[in-house]
Structure 1
């Protein structure tokens, strides 16, 4: 540990504290941090990790995130960080990965990538301006390497109307693809399955989610830009797409159809949600998606989304066999998450800061109240 005996006697400004705080947020696994300084104790810091279940959307790792609805934020965190939903089926991230986050919403998966693989670059797509603003705020606060784009992806360049649901923004979608009866059924299935799982401490959260079905969804419309993925690849000039993550509320097949033959070799892995809802235009889509990806040479696994059993939501992972020959080391795989290590954080700060700005100690805590 660095010898910071000068810390207490050295002038520490608010700008210095903010600098230390921001560097801590850029360290792997750190969700929140607090840096304090006193004449008697010198510099110290407390940090909170991402990867434990969030006790509340208003405390723990989620407390300072920009959000529309606290309950969907808690759901997204537990699904992505705790459940590692986009690392199933053998999906990995290599050093310096390029990730396309299609349907980024407020950026929880982008934050996951930044927390687990800081060397990765994320291109995050979110067409609805209200949600996009939250995505930008969350990405900026955590300093992840993300390029937010206010657009969605489709099989052709166009402008369309989206339904925006502030109470449940993850259900927002193209108006011509909306199915409010199905969205209500989805919430009911989630509540039913969440109760059956018996997870402790979720009763209040489940009750709040259940209340959404007792009233009409608040709805407003937004005009949004959609682009073909191949058009974006040409403009961004990315060398590859290590992971194409797709969660776009019934538009997933359109996204795949927007990839030209010449660009498919750039796509190494895909993790996506597929809608295959009985009695709707999406019925049979899982089979269609599988056929398209098999034709492109991918190896595929799929399963029904656990908390949405019976709602026609499937998780699909596709990996091109050639990705195994990539020489870059694997940085992230399922189960590789870990709590931040105080000594590693101190070492990281010592490489970036003068000695008098390196805290005497960093403590990993399970709770961090808002200031």
Structure 2
């Protein structure tokens, strides 16, 4: 391949790297010249622990805390927590990502089901800004909304924790002791069962539980799912993912009777903490979903035992006969194929921007 002096080589490399970040399944890329003066693209796939060792991709995604972003990646891409219980993603799926945070689940859907349309809801302004940037930079089919979902239209005070944004919640749903217990259990579990080489990360996470949580109070808008469905003209919700720090039942109450038949699958975290306002919440949620016609499964991860956090999966009977192809299910992630990446780039970049070779790597070299 002949490279012109104008534009500069680094500009060409950057253009190729930006394009590669939009390829489903690629977390990060590096374009270099080899000894034979060829352009070689090295790509790091999503869904491997190698990503969590790459501070570059994590820093790109994070609001402030790389350790938190590492946790999110492993939970969503490696452990596939929202695709358990028989949950699947079909071609052209419509997904509601409620409690989107920085957009990690939206990125997951984009990587595993590129034809999907995602409606992503995040009420905290600082977190929403990062969500919007993360999905825009990757050219995903995501519609981000800077509000949360609840049982009615309202403005509510939220506590936003910059050190660990996933704990941000409505001020009236805060449970400090439970959050500390969760962090300590996560660290202990990862030390026993996690991959090697992560002690610095775990020490940082452990340090969060050893100090007072610093937070910023902000007013956030909440709306109902049914209002969004009407305004956006949504005809089906293939997957409703909910992770909203004790507000999950409020989200369900925001669905009017006429809209329940549109919802085909639900994957949600449910808080059921003894002696708190959420006590008995799992039974309440499962009964409601059963009444709405879903088949419901409740699971709990060993690391979350005794924290009062459960995973609830609900699937509408008959959804397995939907004619659309299943493109993503737990354990079915496909390896990134270099030849497919080259074909994809050839359709999007000028011929002199297409690398001579694409190599899938476990780690990217420093610049």
Residue 71 of structure 2 is matched in structure 1 by: 75
Q: 2: CA distance between counterparts of 1:166 and 1:147?
A: 24
Residue 249 of structure 2 is matched in structure 1 by: 253
Equivalent residue runs for 1:1-371 within 5 Å: 5=1, 7-8=2-3, 16-36=12-32, 41-54=37-50, 56=52, 59=55, 61-197=57-193, 199-369=195-365, 371=367
Question: C-alpha displacement at 1:225, in angstroms?
Answer: 0.1
Question: C-alpha displacement at 1:233, in angstroms?
Answer: 0.8
Q: 2: CA distance between counterparts of 1:287 and 1:246?
A: 17
Does the aligned pair in 2 maintain the 1:185–1:311 contact within 8 Å? Answer: yes
CA RMSD after TM alignment: 2.0
Using the TM superposition, name which of 243-252 and 128-137 deviates more.
Answer: 128-137
Q: What secondary structure, in the 3-state scheme, does the structure 2 residue paired with 1:144 have? A: coil
Q: What secondary structure, in the 3-state scheme, does the structure 2 residue paired with 1:274 have? A: strand
Residues 101/356 of structure 1: CA separation in 2 closer, same or farther (3 Å cut): same
Residues 198/77 of structure 1: CA separation in 2 closer, same or farther (3 Å cut): closer
Question: C-alpha displacement at 1:198, in angstroms?
Answer: 5.1
Does the aligned pair in 2 maintain the 1:59–1:370 contact within 8 Å? Answer: no
Higher relative contact order (CA 8 A, sep 6+): 1
Q: 2: CA distance between counterparts of 1:58 and 1:37?
A: 21
Question: C-alpha displacement at 1:182, in angstroms?
Answer: 1.9
Question: C-alpha displacement at 1:11, in angstroms?
Answer: 5.2
Q: What secondary structure, in the 3-state scheme, does the structure 2 residue paired with 1:347 have? A: helix
Q: What secondary structure, in the 3-state scheme, does the structure 2 residue paired with 1:212 have? A: helix
Structure 1: runs of 5 or more not aligned: none
Normalising by the residue count of structure 2, what TM-score does the alignment of the two structures yield? 0.94
Does the aligned pair in 1 maintain the 2:161–2:214 contact within 8 Å? Answer: yes
Q: 1: CA distance between counterparts of 2:295 and 2:56?
A: 38
Residues 198/32 of structure 1: CA separation in 2 closer, same or farther (3 Å cut): closer
Residues 208/121 of structure 1: CA separation in 2 closer, same or farther (3 Å cut): same
Q: 2: CA distance between counterparts of 1:95 and 1:157?
A: 32
Normalising by the residue count of structure 1, what TM-score does the alignment of the two structures yield? 0.93
Structure 2: runs of 5 or more not aligned: none
Q: 1: CA distance between counterparts of 2:28 and 2:299?
A: 33
Question: C-alpha displacement at 1:63, in angstroms?
Answer: 4.1
Question: C-alpha displacement at 1:19, in angstroms?
Answer: 3.9
